[in-house]
Amino acid sequence: MTAGTGSPKRFREASRTALNNERLQRAMNRLQSGFGEARAQAIADLPEFDALRDLARQRKDFTLRHLPQYLAAFEQAVRRAGGRVHWAKTPQEANRIVRGLCQEYDCRHVVKSKSMVGEEMRLADYLLGWGADVIETDLGEYILQLRQEKPSHIIAPATHLNRDDIAETFQATHGEDGQQGKAAEGLVQEARHRLRQKFKQAEMAITGANFLVAETGTVVLVTNEGNADLGVTLAPHHVVVSSIEKVVPTLKDAFLFLRLLARSATGQDISTYTSLYTGRRRDGATDGPETFDVVLLDGGRSDLLDSEFEEILHCIRCGACLNHCPVYAGAGGHAYGSIYPGPMGAVLAPALNDGTVHRELSQASTFCGKCEEVCPVRIPLPKLMRYWREKSFGDHQSPFTERVMLRGWAWLCRHPHLYRSVIRLMSSLLRRLSHGGWITSLPGLGRAWTQDRDMPAPPAKTFFEEWEDKR
Amino acid sequence: MPQSSTSKKSAAGLWVTCLVNLFRPSVAWAVVRLLNQAGIDVIVPKHQTCCGQPSYNGGDRSNARRAARQVIRQFERLDYMVVPSGSCAAMIRKHYPELLKEDRDWSARANNLAAKCYELTEFLNHVAGYDGTQVSSLKATYHDSCSGLRELNLKTAPRDLLGRVRGLELVEMRDAERCCGFGGAFCLKYPELSNDMVSRKIRNIMDSGAECVIAGDLGCLMTLEGKLHRLGHRIRGYHIAEILAGMEGDA
Ligand code: SF4
């Protein structure tokens, strides 16, 4: 599926297709009930969860207020550990930096591990286009690479696929090796077999980062498969791609966030693999990469500091807001047409594109508030989505008819007598369209309502008429 | 607690939501009855229209501010403001102070109104007192409306009150807290997603074995009832005020 503009119409079309895709719907139900229940259990088992959230929020606020200092400290610490930090304003710049590193170290075979920032940069495509051999090594990402698809979830990228989809993909692309049938175990073996060869060849391992620790220059990465570790252990060159807001002051902070992250994401106490990478191989040591480079992408984030959207920089990419969002449940991740889907994506994506393209995703919310309720760092996602709506309304980006109707309604509401007459008129029109107390088909805007449900007919008099009669 | 007989009888302004006024006046009458039973005078300010939610959520902040000032002017002098809707109550309690916080005079007035504005069930539970009523045997399930639940924390108040209704058996449905898909303009902009959400809700209502579904917001209630009717189910929908006032027979 391709990315689009994210206009209400586009999202509506895309979600309609998704709603008709039974496999996808089953996958989404599984995801939401599985992760939802796991999170609820994990939280019930940790009485201090809410206190941790408050602390995490404070630490995030504090760090963002001093972001340049902590980034500078991180760079210093990385240098002390024998590594380098490279700064990129835009995804394009970040890609060029990675390519430069490939050239400098003479690397053509790259194993890459899951990273949303990598997705934001479209790094794999870029390097492939340049002539490198890049392979995604996390199972989900690997499958998507074979299918030439984008992730549909920030921590479970191939959650929209089921075992049959994967078996089909492997059969179509693995040729001779694709003999393992449809059992999950067999499919994993098959992918592992393929990937082993790539790991052996690899000269460079590219990973993402969950946290960057300013105090020590450590890069913290959590995964559930451990392939990132394998890549970093085998390849002589390690390149980390990350974004600037992932910096935290101390290791202690990183562990605070880790506790919240795993529980919010998958309901685990801690992720299966939590790796800490600090610098390059020490002199005299026998393992670790020979070089260690961190590419830090801004990508529009520093513009969010001190703006009404600043709080989205608190996000630790746990995916809880996706796992609990009733809109995401129906639409699936691809319908958003942005790298980051769901509620956090509706807030973050438009900021990263520094344009208006994904702004309209903020319309696709009932403001039910479930995302805010589950967010481990208490990001007020509905409030931030409302700010995007305000921007769209203010810049005349929202549809013309909608703006006219909103203004018209507001004007009417300021004229109570007129308001009452219009409501009376509406009431009698609606009654005329009804049969047996119900309206089953409405014209115009109302059609959207009666497409799938009926509307009760209004009674003969409005409350205000009845109230006046009584006086 | 109910006012003691020595003190002056208090007066509550009734907020009649747009949907209640047009589609279900019985909800407002139920509130009148409930407040009178608690010994409270009901005043219905004449010039009330809409609380401004459509403007606010549609991104039109300046018109939302105007609506807020209009509402404040009409209700600020009364002892209480009672609102039979979690989302309108949240608008007044949570969002008016936020909307007007930069305006020195209006900020204080917004906070003052917010402090005496109550959603119906919290008013009955914490201020007015509610003696309960009798209904002819009814097995009901309660849908938690999003704004009331998450912005006003209305989880126990409605259930406490329903617990005082004799003859009513409350059964919890699965995912009672999940959104019904109304969401104001959302249901008109994304009807397919909205339908997906309400369909899940209907399945859970059916599975609960309840004969009726109760909600505190008319938007949710119309969504649920409209879908139930389209599907040909006999399950009815009630606003919680109607049940508490013992009006389930004539609604
Ligand atoms: S916004 Fe909150 S819930 Fe959503 S991914 Fe980020 S941290 Fe997790």
CA dihedral (A405, A406, A409, A415) positive or negative: negative
A265, A305, A275: which is closest to A71 by C-alpha? Answer: A305
- In degrees and rounded to multiples of 5, residue B155 shows phi and psi of -100, -50
Nearest CA to ligand 1 atom 2: A375
The SS3 of residue B174 is coil
* Separation CA B60–CA B53 (nearest Å): 10
Contact in structure between B105 and B167 (CB atoms under 8 Å): no
Is residue A407 within 8 angstroms of chain B, CB to CB?
A: yes
* Separation CA B120–CA B3 (nearest Å): 17
The DSSP symbol for B92 reads I
Q: Where are the alpha helices (DSSP H) in A317-399?
A: 320-324, 326-331, 342-352, 370-374, 381-394
Other CB atoms within 10 A of residue A284 CB? 5
Residues of chain A contacting B155 with CB distance shorter than 8 Å: none
pLDDT tens digits for chain A (471 residues)? 333 444 568 899 999 999 999 999 999 999 999 999 999 999 999 999 999 999 999 999 999 999 999 999 999 999 999 999 999 999 999 999 999 999 999 999 999 998 999 999 999 999 999 999 999 999 999 999 999 999 999 999 999 998 888 888 888 888 765 555 677 788 888 888 888 889 999 999 999 999 999 999 999 999 888 888 888 888 999 999 999 999 999 999 999 999 999 999 999 988 888 999 999 999 888 888 999 999 999 999 999 999 999 999 999 999 999 999 999 999 999 999 999 999 999 999 999 976 667 888 999 999 999 999 999 999 999 999 999 999 999 988 888 889 999 999 999 999 999 999 999 999 999 999 999 999 999 999 899 999 999 999 999 999 999 999 987
Is residue A32 within 8 angstroms of chain B, CB to CB?
A: no
Residues of chain A contacting B21 with CB distance shorter than 8 Å: 423, 462-464
Contact in structure between A76 and A213 (CB atoms under 8 Å): no
Q: How many CB pairs under 8 A join A and B?
A: 185
Contact in structure between A377 and A57 (CB atoms under 8 Å): yes
Q: What CA–CA distances, in Å, run from A63 to A52, A234, A302, B161?
A: 16, 34, 13, 46
Query: Which of B190, B195, B229 should we substitute to test contact with A (largest number of A Cβ atoms within 10 Å)?
Result: B190
The one-letter amino acid at A330: G
Give the H/E segment covering residue A277.
strand A273-278
The one-letter amino acid at A413: C
What's the CA-to-centroid distance between A246 and ligand 1, angstroms? 13
Query: Which of B60, B66, B223 should we substitute to test contact with A (largest number of A Cβ atoms within 10 Å)?
Result: B60
Best mutation site among A57, A155, A264 for ligand 1 pocket (most ligand atoms within 8 Å of CB): A264
Closest Cα in chain A to B178? A326
Asked if B189's CB is within 8 angstroms of A390's CB, the reply is: no
Asked if B48's CB is within 8 angstroms of A406's CB, the reply is: no
Residue for token pair 């903020």: A362
Q: Say how many CA atoms lie within 13 Å of A424 toward its Cβ.
A: 10
Asked if B146's CB is within 8 angstroms of A370's CB, the reply is: yes
Asked if A407's CB is within 8 angstroms of B54's CB, the reply is: no
Instruction: Supply the ipTM of this predicted assembly.
Output: 0.95
Is residue B204 within 8 angstroms of chain A, CB to CB?
A: no
- In degrees and rounded to multiples of 5, residue A316 shows phi and psi of -110, 15
Other CB atoms within 10 A of residue A432 CB? 9
* Separation CA B21–CA A300 (nearest Å): 47
Q: What CA–CA distances, in Å, run from B157 to A6, B86, B144, B177?
A: 40, 12, 11, 15
Ligand 1 pocket (Cβ < 6 Å) reads A 264, 315-321, 344, 374-377, 379
Residue A6: predicted pLDDT: 45
Bridge partners of residue A88, in order along the sequence: A297
What is the gyration radius of the CA atoms in chain B, in angstroms?
18
- In degrees and rounded to multiples of 5, residue A222 shows phi and psi of -110, 135
Nearest CA to ligand 1 atom 7: A315
Contact in structure between B178 and B150 (CB atoms under 8 Å): no
The SS3 of residue B81 is strand
| Token pair listed for B235 | 């399950």
* Separation CA A235–CA A204 (nearest Å): 5
Residue A354: predicted pLDDT: 60
Residues of chain A contacting B63 with CB distance shorter than 8 Å: 406-407, 410
